[in-house]
Amino acid sequence: MKKIVLLIAVLSLCLAKAQIDPVKYPTFTNIDEALNSKKTVYSMSFREKGLFNLPPQISKLNALFFLNIMGNKLEKMDQEIFALTELEILNVNENSIKYIPDEIGNLKKLNTFSMNLNGLTSINSNVAKLQHLKAVHFDANNLNVFPEALMGIPALEEINLQGNQISIIADRLHRIKNLKFLNLSENQINDLGNLSFPKNLKYLELQQNAIVKLPENLFKAKNLEFLNASDNHITKISPGIKGLKNIVSMNLANNNLKDIPEEIGQLKNLKTLILTGNPIEKTKIERLKSLMPETQIYF
């Protein structure tokens, strides 16, 4: 699993780099070259340098908006980072950091914050001060609850929490009004209660948990396009599923479903429905096919 998360982390970094014009904003990899540059330094990468600490002189590069310190041996976030108040993209993936300092609140302009593959057990409440954050990646840490701080950042569009130990999600998720992508896969969620979801949510990944029932409020997420709830313990789908008017792809593989309500036939935008690994009789699958002739059903 960690290899998969690492691949996602690398891809995320590539996407972040794609936002940077390499001619106008060259990425420096050597601190001395950066300090001696006659031009303003905006982008810096210490990726996989074997560092235990960052060079203290980095705080002099006060125009930095991109910093990549992925793949080192850091056990803490050095204070010099928090002097870089122009930072917009911060990548701290694949280190050994166990906590986020209070000073994280200094980075007011941060819009992408990635700390995959570290040892975080909680997320500092001061992260809520980062009101410009659009994407956070805390995959493959040791979080056991959904970070409360994130619920105070309505600008967030993407949250990745794959591969943690999350079992509890407070019913304030809907406060993240702009959230479009949420990945909660490979956690320890068994009960979502009647959790409310943001209205703008488009992508929801819940696979590889222990979920027994999808909450009724999920079916009010009218903008949801992709739902993956495979590899859970779901025994029944509510007729309320008809509320997912814009759903394009739904993966319910490897659950305990014996039937699917006929209301699913009202989902005219549904192109792909995956039901493999469920104890559904063939006759019921045939009924679904007649209800949904434009949907590709895998069983």
The tokens describing 44, both together, are 């810096």
Q: Is 233 contained in some domain?
A: no
Report the distance separating Cα 157 and Cα 135, nearest Å.
6
Q: Is 129 contained in some domain?
A: yes
pLDDT tens, 88-127? 999 999 999 999 999 999 999 999 999 999 999 999 999 9
CATH number at residue 97: 3.80.10.10
The tokens describing 140, both together, are 């493959």
Mean pLDDT computed over 137-148: 98
Please state the domain count of the chain: 1
Report the distance separating Cα 129 and Cα 181, nearest Å.
21
Provide the pLDDT confidence category of residue 20 given band limits of 50, 70 and 90: low
CA-to-CA dists, residue 292 to 214, 262, 270, angstroms: 22, 10, 9
Three-state secondary-structure class, residue 126: helix
Q: Is 36 contained in some domain?
A: yes
**Closest by alpha carbon to 48, among 109, 101, 117, 102?**
117
pLDDT tens, 263-282? 999 999 999 999 999 999 99
Quickly count: other Cβ atoms within 10 Å of residue 149's Cβ.
20
CA-to-CA dists, residue 116 to 42, 71, 99, 136, 154, angstroms: 23, 10, 13, 9, 22
Name the H helices within the chain. 2-18, 31-36, 282-291
**Closest by alpha carbon to 182, among 191, 170, 172, 173?**
173
Q: Is 299 contained in some domain?
A: no
Sign of CA dihedral 187, 190, 196, 200: positive
pTM here is 0.91
Q: Is 120 contained in some domain?
A: yes
Q: Is 161 contained in some domain?
A: yes
Is residue 219 within 8 A of residue 240, CB to CB? The reply is yes
Q: What integer pLDDT is reported at residue 10 of this predicted model?
A: 42
Provide the pLDDT confidence category of residue 17 given band limits of 50, 70 and 90: very low
Residue 126: domain span: 2-188
Report the distance separating Cα 217 and Cα 67, nearest Å.
39
- The secondary structure element, H or E, covering residue 16 is helix 2-18
Q: Is 31 contained in some domain?
A: yes
pLDDT tens, 193-237? 999 999 999 999 999 999 999 999 999 999 999 999 999 999 999
**Closest by alpha carbon to 150, among 185, 117, 118, 115?**
115
Q: Is 272 contained in some domain?
A: no
Q: Picking from 8-17, 81-90, 266-275, which range would have the lowest pLDDT averaged per residue?
A: 8-17
The tokens describing 201, both together, are 């949510």
Backbone phi, psi, residue 274, to 5°: -110, 120
